[in-house]
Structure 1
Amino acid sequence: MGAKTVNKLAVPGATLHYEVTGSGPVLLLIAGGGTDAGVYSGIVGQLAAEYTVVTYDPRGNSRSRYDGDATDESIEQSAADALALLDAVAGAGGETAYVFGSGAGAITGLELISRHPDRVRMLVAHEPPCTEILPDAADARAFFEEVCTAYREEGLTAADVVFMMGTGMDDDAMPPLEDLLPEYRELAERMQANAANFYEHKLLPFTRYVPDLDALKRVADRVVPAAGLESYRHLPGRPVEVIAEHLGWPVVMFPGGHGGYSSHPAPFATHLAHLLRSDTV
């Protein structure tokens, strides 16, 4: 594994913090929600033995600061940020890259491959919460609005409880901060600091995203619909089944739940590396 470099990239409206580790084909890992590059720290080392692994803090999260006031997330802009990072690492119009995204990061990946299919060699989309494509989309929409109402009227803690219980992520909750190793404590503190921006500007835009299923169908051989063995029946995991059915592929199951890359890093990384090596699904 090569040494990690830490970098900054100016994009319209923000400056992105990104990290590059290893050598070989480019593999972009896209974090979601209120998380940042640190959520993938458990799998980077293993993957960097074969790939140039790029991780970053999405705009508005942690070390990727807005240039001005926060605004509601644009999925198009989120995909443009990912493309800008690929250009910075691989060169504009350069090599195609492998992309893994989880949660909102998977939504960014879906938009990226839909708009720029020539830049993505394979996308592994792990539980994109684009719930508007579900048969019961109205119920999901009402739930996420309830989360935001809880945040506005009762605060972060109440919103966290409603969100975690309603998405099945309560089992993924981290131990108390005092019980964590220093590096994980720092990650947890950054995520807590991102929570308000997540509820105010990211949750609804991402969950209301409607993927271009026809565009995805045209690149179906390069899209891997994925979910966690312990979470695929919960709300964030369900939309990928609709996407998989449209693409004509089965959902590929990964160890753990929605955050399996953190809870089961070694088997998760092994499974992801195996998929990437196949180059077809």
Structure 2
Amino acid sequence: MTTNPTDTAAVGSLKVPGARLHYEVRGEGPLIVLVGAPMDSAAFAPLAELLATDHTVLTTDPRGINRSKLDDPGQDSTPQLRADDLSRLIARIDAGPAIVVGSSGGAVSALALAQTHPDQVHTVVAHEPPLIELLEDSEQLRTGTEDLIATYLADDVTGAWKKFFAQANITMPEPLIEQMFGGERDPQQVADERRWFAHEMRASTYWQPDPAALRAATTRIVVGIGDDSAGQLCDRTSRALADSLGTEPTTFPGGHIGFVETPDLFATRLRMVVREG
């Protein structure tokens, strides 16, 4: 491992089947894993620093994203593969069982981990997993997903993002979308984005959890929803997941990426949720 000069993270890599994973470790104490998909470890760094005062905090770039390189760049990223990666990383750190906090596609990864390796995770906080198969209009949402993926792969990037935000029921002015996705952009960001559309979005959003297995497992499952996400697609999917588990969703500050917007408030709420368990 090497030290990242910008913060307290120790940086390492782990060879796993089909990939080499970039990961970062901060702090000491009970293990918390912060994971996204496709979001990489950099997005979680401010939250990780806050939690590292009394926890060991593990973050990672999911396979195929940024510094986690694939042997086969055309490989699809599935929740099962990402769960196996998390299992191997937790074993590598040897500080489990862990609290795993997953955001969006990372929440799907965390749920898959709870189903396949429940002994390694005592608590999952699944923050806004986009599990559209749990909804009554899943067929329509699948059609929309296929359309926006096709639009992106036809190189209409801003058109794809407009469709994405519309389906997600997230208000985003068209001029802002053009500004964010239509101009000069970081090549790594573009590569990660393209991989998400081409090789990850379907598997993450079409994945179907096993509610009976999750209810039967010893792992505590907390379904998180942003305070500002009311009416959005991931608010709907999260409520449907909580209902299938016979639980109530837990609110967190901010919206879909509240941990990025206000990491201090998110950390305070997360500590409270963990203590309640």
When the two structures are superposed, what TM-score results if normalisation uses the length of structure 1? 0.88
Task: Please give the alpha-carbon distance, in whole angstroms, between the structure 2 residues aligned to 1:89 and 1:110.
Answer: 20
Task: Please give the alpha-carbon distance, in whole angstroms, between the structure 2 residues aligned to 1:109 and 1:233.
Answer: 24
Q: Does 1:21 align with 2:23?
A: no
The equivalent residue for 1:44 is 48
Task: Please give the alpha-carbon distance, in whole angstroms, between the structure 1 residues aligned to 2:240 and 2:169.
Answer: 19
Give identity over the alignment, percent.
Answer: 33
2:80 to 70, 76, 85: 76
Residues 14 and 22, structure 2, Cα contact 8 Å, conserved in 1: yes
The equivalent residue for 2:101 is 100
Distance apart, 1:248 and its partner CA: 2.0
- Comparing 241-250 and 253-262, the one that deviates more: 241-250
The equivalent residue for 2:131 is 130
Quickly say closer, same or farther: Cα 1:170–1:12, change in 2 above 3 A.
farther
Distance apart, 1:10 and its partner CA: 0.5
Task: Please give the alpha-carbon distance, in whole angstroms, between the structure 2 residues aligned to 1:221 and 1:60.
Answer: 28
Residues 112 and 209, structure 2, Cα contact 8 Å, conserved in 1: yes
The equivalent residue for 1:63 is 67
Distance apart, 1:69 and its partner CA: 2.8
Residues 60 and 70, structure 1, Cα contact 8 Å, conserved in 2: no
List alignment gaps of at least 5 residues for structure 1: 178-185
Aligned to 1:238, the other structure's residue is in SS state helix
Task: Please give the alpha-carbon distance, in whole angstroms, between the structure 2 residues aligned to 1:251 and 1:274.
Answer: 15
Task: Please give the alpha-carbon distance, in whole angstroms, between the structure 1 residues aligned to 2:226 and 2:59.
Answer: 21
1:249 to 247, 250, 253: 247
List alignment gaps of at least 5 residues for structure 2: 1-6
Q: 1:8-61 CA distances to partner (integer Å, 9 max, x unpaired)?
A: 01110010000000110110111123x200111221111111110000000010
Q: 1:140-162 CA distances to partner (integer Å, 9 max, x unpaired)?
A: 11111111121122432322222
Q: Does 1:201 align with 2:205?
A: no
Task: Please give the alpha-carbon distance, in whole angstroms, between the structure 2 residues aligned to 1:221 and 1:117.
Answer: 6
Q: How many residues align?
A: 265
Q: Where do 1:1-281 residues align within 5 Å?
A: 3-33=8-38, 35-90=39-94, 95-169=96-170, 190-219=188-217, 222-278=220-276, 280=277
- Structure 1: 4+ residue segments shifted above 4 A: 169-177
CA RMSD after TM alignment: 2.3
Task: Please give the alpha-carbon distance, in whole angstroms, between the structure 2 residues aligned to 1:148 and 1:176.
Answer: 20
Residues 97 and 121, structure 2, Cα contact 8 Å, conserved in 1: yes
Quickly say closer, same or farther: Cα 1:168–1:264, change in 2 above 3 A.
farther
Task: Please give the alpha-carbon distance, in whole angstroms, between the structure 1 residues aligned to 2:274 and 2:193.
Answer: 32
Residues 211 and 244, structure 2, Cα contact 8 Å, conserved in 1: yes
The residue type paired with residue 116 of structure 1 is H
Distance apart, 1:247 and its partner CA: 1.9
Q: 1:96-150 CA distances to partner (integer Å, 9 max, x unpaired)?
A: 1110001000000000001111111100000111111111111111111111121
Residues 64 and 73, structure 2, Cα contact 8 Å, conserved in 1: no
The residue type paired with residue 55 of structure 2 is Y
When the two structures are superposed, what TM-score results if normalisation uses the length of structure 2? 0.89
Task: Please give the alpha-carbon distance, in whole angstroms, between the structure 1 residues aligned to 2:233 and 2:92.
Answer: 35
Task: Please give the alpha-carbon distance, in whole angstroms, between the structure 2 residues aligned to 1:24 and 1:238.
Answer: 35
Higher relative contact order, structure no. (Cα contacts within 8 Å, ≥ 6 residues apart): 1
Distance apart, 1:208 and its partner CA: 0.6
- Comparing 242-251 and 267-276, the one that deviates more: 242-251
Task: Please give the alpha-carbon distance, in whole angstroms, between the structure 1 residues aligned to 2:219 and 2:22.
Answer: 31
